[in-house]
Amino acid sequence: MHPAWARHLPPGVEASSVDLLAARSLPAAWVRRWAEAPERPVVGDVAGWVSGAELEERTRRVAGRYRGAGLVPGDRVVMSAAASVDLVVAHVAALRAGLVVVPMNTAYREREVAHIARDCRPSAAVVDDPEVARWIADARRAPVVACGPDVVLADGVADGLDASAPEDDAMLCYTSGTTGAPKGARLTHGNVLSSPAALGLAWRWERDDRLVLALPLFHAHGLAVGLHGTLLAGASAFLLPRFDVDPVLDTAREQRATLFFGVPTMYDRLAKSPRLDELAALRMCVSGSAPLPPALWERINDAAGVAVLERYGMTETLMTVSNPYDGERRAGTVGFPLPGVDLRLAADGEILVRGPNVFGGYWERPDADADAFEALGDDRAPWFHTGDVGEHDDAGYLAIVGRTKELIISGGFNVYPREVEDVLRAYPGVADVAVIGTPSDEWGEVVTAVIVADGPFDADALLAAASEDFAPFKRPRIVRVVDELPRNALGKVLRHEL
């Protein structure tokens, strides 16, 4: 009997032959890819292209610099910088050296940076903003090796590279939770290898593919899918520091790109451009990180003849579900489980998953692990509770229809109300607060603060203060003042009534 994910496999590939962990780690697989075609361009930006041979040499040299600075396997390295070839080299070198990369949003402010630094206790920081380096050092209260994405440190001996095992930690990715403060999801080398290996099969990712990558490299979509998948396939990617419609389309044409990955906000802007039909020159356009409205999917398909491939995943699981490459891609659905992924729906519709892509647990949070995982009567790995509610249509396509967690998704980034509420409660004039998402055609949702005021209240002052305490995607954009928040008999805020 074939597993459900076998429908994603290319013709001639049998499910029994699929071993997503055969390479043991991404760095080991990447080095082999570069040796196969050393002169092929692999990663480029406005400064030019870098070949496989150059990547091997540069990442080896930077790995030696990490070693020379005293870093050892298992040490955490915060990385927060705009996308560039230099940042790719710094990231890959860290993984080759057995270090644990902690990607951090470049928009984070001091409060958010300090929490991560105190929680994961990094030994080094690769950042492009000296102020961020200072925030990390102040919060860490211990020596931190700080440098820019070019990693200008003294050279050292790069020995024992590419030796990580599948069970070793590779990345610590912070994701907000209902308990307020973000917590670190421990992604092993097996996790970060299996996900792009599955995508390579499902999406027919080949050496001749070229990706226009305008997603940030601190987010799983850009980093663990876009970059990692490109390197594993032996393909190439051109990096843009930000998304703008014309530069993306210009780059796609000039670089003869075949792939574009984006979030719904990006597709909304592309759909409003008179150049939308240029997407038809690409082999595949993928959307993720937030639901793609069916009406937007239809508009792009009707105007440009492009059936955007929507997929589903999250920080803790990386990629889990995808619409098929071959066959119908259904608007409003995310398709079928990817190779290696088991998926089931709980009695209440919550999506449960397990597989080699599912993370190893939260950093120093056994309480969170106990809530997140559940063994359901067999001796295999426990199931992870995604917090998303799904349903299958008549053909088995999965649709995301709701959430069990109080999550806001704005521009493809997750915002948990509790974190924002805990900070807003300390602002002058705020007696009580609930944070909700208000629908937005462009952003999906915008953060909205519903305030019970304690005397005179200045909404503009709250918005100004929030700009100092939160990254832009977490900041309230709308403030509503009410006499009281609706609550149930146990005191829980009834957000649906807001």
Say what the pLDDT of residue 180 is.
62
Structure tokens at 380: 């295999």
Distance of CA 18 to the CA centre of its chain: 25
Question: Could you tell me the domains of the chain?
Answer: 19-398 (3.40.50.12780), 408-497 (3.30.300.30)
The sign of the torsion formed by the CA atoms of 417, 418, 422, 425 equals positive
> How high is the pLDDT of residue 57?
98
Radius of gyration (C-alpha) of the chain in whole angstroms:
22
Burial of residue 454 (number of CB atoms within 10 Å: 0-12, 13-18, 19+): exposed
* Sheet with 236-239, edge to edge strand ranges: 48-51, 41-45, 236-239, 210-213, 259-262, 284-287, 309-314, 318-322, 336-337
Which pLDDT tens digits describe the chain residue by residue (498 residues)? 678 899 999 999 999 999 999 999 999 999 999 999 999 999 999 999 999 999 999 999 999 999 999 999 999 999 999 999 999 999 999 999 999 999 999 999 999 999 999 999 999 999 999 999 999 999 998 899 999 999 999 999 999 999 999 999 999 999 865 456 789 999 999 999 999 999 999 999 999 999 999 999 999 999 999 999 999 999 999 999 999 999 999 999 999 999 999 999 999 999 999 999 999 999 999 999 888 989 999 999 999 999 999 999 999 999 999 999 999 999 999 999 999 999 999 998 999 999 999 998 999 999 989 989 998 777 788 999 999 989 999 999 999 987 777 778 888 888 888 788 878 888 888 888 889 889 888 888 999 999 989 888 888 888 888 888 898 999 999 999 998 888 765 566 777 778
What separation in angstroms does the CA of 395 have from each of 320, 326, 328, 336? 18, 15, 11, 10
C-alpha distances (whole Å) from 390 to each of 255, 330, 349, 381, 463 are 38, 15, 6, 21, 35
Please give the pLDDT value at position 376.
Answer: 79
Residue 262: partners with Cβ closer than 8 Å, 6 or more residues away: 214, 215, 243, 270, 285, 286, 287
Q: What is the pLDDT of residue 327?
A: 92
pLDDT score, position 210 = 98
